[in-house]
Amino acid sequence: MMTINEVKQRLIEGNDRFVEDKLDGKLQDSSRRDSLVGGQAPYAIILSCADSRVVPELSFDTGLGELFVVRVAGNVANSSSIASIEYAVAHIGTPVIVVLGHQSCGAVTAAVAGGDNGYNLNHLLSHVQPALAASGEGAEVNDVVRKNAELTAEELKTRSGIISDAVAAGKLEILPAYYHLDSGRVEYL
């Protein structure tokens, strides 16, 4: 497995290629598929929004078996997203988590707007409430997105012994980040 610093460097370089329209597009062919049938060893976990404009595998110029991507609107930490992340931390030893908020997030926009969105969406948006409260009255959506990524990164630790233990042992780092829809740049917060 790559070290934390190697992973961070790999993600930065891949994102640079994406931003510059110079994707390598490696590890996406039949030989790579064959090599992965027996198991996976992704070096990074990405907690991303479901938004179609945010595609982590492209944003970091990665192929099959490189990223363990968990997607849920608003990239929130709920029981299911945390459990998915715990699997990669505990069973694969993946050393980096990126919590990837993004510009103009619809889920955060709905949370900012408030009101009744029905049982399921209300429940999901309740996970954005701490970021909304921390951002203060009249905060811009993109500022709440940033705060949400930061607080979610913290929440992963407070709600998961597996994750907090791995961080404490120096085996795992959690990076809140903000994805720019226009430039494709992943900005670490």
| Min CB(156)–Zn ion separation in Å | 18
Nearest CA to 124 out of 49, 16, 66, 52 is that of: 49
Nearer to Zn ion, 74 or 95 (CB): 74
Helices (H), the chain: 4-19, 30-36, 56-59, 79-87, 106-113, 119-126, 129-135, 141-158, 161-168
Nearer to Zn ion, 143 or 173 (CB): 143
For residues 124 and 76, the answer to whether their CB atoms sit within 8 Å is: yes
Helices (H), 65-140: 79-87, 106-113, 119-126, 129-135
d(CA 25, CA 100): 21
Return the structure tokens found at 181: 């829809």
Nearer to Zn ion, 51 or 150 (CB): 51
Residues at the site binding Zn ion, with contacts judged by CB under 5 A: 49, 51, 105, 107
| Min CB(171)–Zn ion separation in Å | 29
Cβ atoms within 10 Å, residue 128? 26
Nearer to Zn ion, 17 or 180 (CB): 180
| Min CB(101)–Zn ion separation in Å | 8
| Min CB(49)–Zn ion separation in Å | 3
| Min CB(111)–Zn ion separation in Å | 11
Assign 117 to helix, strand or coil: coil
Nearer to Zn ion, 7 or 105 (CB): 105
